[in-house]
Amino acid sequence: MTSPRSPKRHHIIPILHLKHFISATPKGQLWTIDKDTGDCRSATPENTAVVSHFYSAETDDGTFYTGMEETLAQIESAAAPVYEKLAKAQPITDDEKANFAAFLALMYLRTPAVRRDAAEVIGRGIQIMSYAYGTNEKAFEGLIKRFEKGEGRTLTEIEKKKLREVLIDPTHLTFEIPKERTFMVFRAIKDLMPILFNMNWGIIGAVHGFFITSDNPVVRWVDPKTQHRILGDHGFHNKTVEVTFPLTPQATLIAAWQEIPNLSVLDRDNVWRMNMMRASHADKYLFAHTCNTELKKLATDFKGSRPRLTSSGFGPKKFGKINVPRRLR
């Protein structure tokens, strides 16, 4: 339940990260660039990337449980001093690396994009199960019997036909997944954190140019040759994986299984290529310490480009729409 001191303005990207991208003009503010329109607007970190009760669970009586936001704040607090060291390319201890690995895992999982993917996984799972009932005669008959027993009436042949059609083709339906169910993504922190910790870490500096960040700032890249159409790319366990996270306009953290230098530098063209990769993975917004014509074009060039969840194999040809309300009505 929300207490008088419980925050309702939740940052989908924490102030700890955003404050490292503030500008001199306007002083103390950073720029948000919209991928849909290319529009720029400036605001303080406190007023950027804010969504009301994004990490709160709403109860039936309209009150909120805000324990999740408090847990996120604890992880950020432990990572804050390590962030400053990494931004300056200073060495860190194993304990500090562990604290930042937890923060990095959180940064990967906490975004609207990943939460929406979680809802898609749940929603598509429901639709695949429904498709199985609709395409298997024995399973469908069992479903009908249970339904009729529960309702206390017998379905007509027309009703049975319509039900089967809906089970096989869910495209005319909208599936509502309560946002609390998307909190399941946070369970992955305990698995992702040790993976990131065990990787080799290094800092990439920008000799010329600058790094940007986004509303989906942790980017995972693998060699395309290692990707399988059905089996995927084995995620963070892929031996070619490179995980990057911009720390400041002049420094980006890189984690990989391969040997990497503790400190390396990139020229302007390669810095911009990293910005292009960040923009392609961004959900809706880029964040930077400046805004110019080049950044606006970068944003709109990658409109709608974030990698989306794909499905193959058994299931309907097309899936129905997934909606994530604050709570089921």
Spatial neighbors of 12 by CB under 8 A, at least 6 apart, are 49, 50, 51, 54, 110, 111, 112, 215
User: DSSP characters for 222-240?
Assistant: --GGG-BTTTBT-GGG-TT
Residue 27 in domain: yes
Domain enclosing residue 269, as ranges: 9-117+179-301
pLDDT at residue 59, as a whole number: 66
The pLDDT, as a whole number, for residue 5 is 41
pLDDT in tens, 267-306: 999 999 999 999 999 999 999 999 999 999 999 999 988 7
**149 backbone dihedrals φ, ψ, rounded to 5°:** -65, -40
Task: Determine what percent of the chain is predicted with pLDDT higher than 90.
Answer: 69
Is 79 contained in some domain?
Answer: yes
pLDDT tens digit sequence for 22-45: 998 899 999 999 999 999 999 999
Q: Let me know if residue 78 belongs to a domain.
A: yes
> For residues 205 and 263, what is the distance between their CA atoms, to the nearest angstrom?
7
Torsion, Cα of 224, 226, 231, 233 (10° steps): -70
Residue 108 lies in a domain: yes
The residue written with tokens 């309907």 in the block is 316
Token pair recorded at residue 282: 């961004």
Residue 40 near residue 51, CB atoms below 8 Å: no
Residue 51's H or E segment, with its range, is strand 50-52
10's torsion region: left (phi>0), alpha (psi -120 to 50) or beta? Answer: beta
Query: Could you list the mean pLDDT of each consecutive 10-residue stretch along the chain, which spans 329 residues?
Result: 55 95 93 96 95 75 69 92 97 98 95 87 92 94 93 93 94 87 87 97 96 96 82 85 97 97 96 96 96 96 76 81 70
Total number of domains in the chain? 1
Q: What is the per-residue pLDDT for 185?
A: 86
pLDDT at 1: 39
Q: How far apart are CA 241 and CA 255, in angstroms?
A: 8
In a domain, 99, yes or no: yes
Residue 279 lies in a domain: yes
Q: Which two tokens stand for residue 267?
A: 């020229």
pLDDT of residue 72: 86
In a domain? residue 265: yes
* Burial class of residue 90 in the structure, from the number of CB atoms within 10 Å of its CB (0-12 exposed, 13-18 middle, 19+ buried): exposed
Is 183 part of any domain?
yes
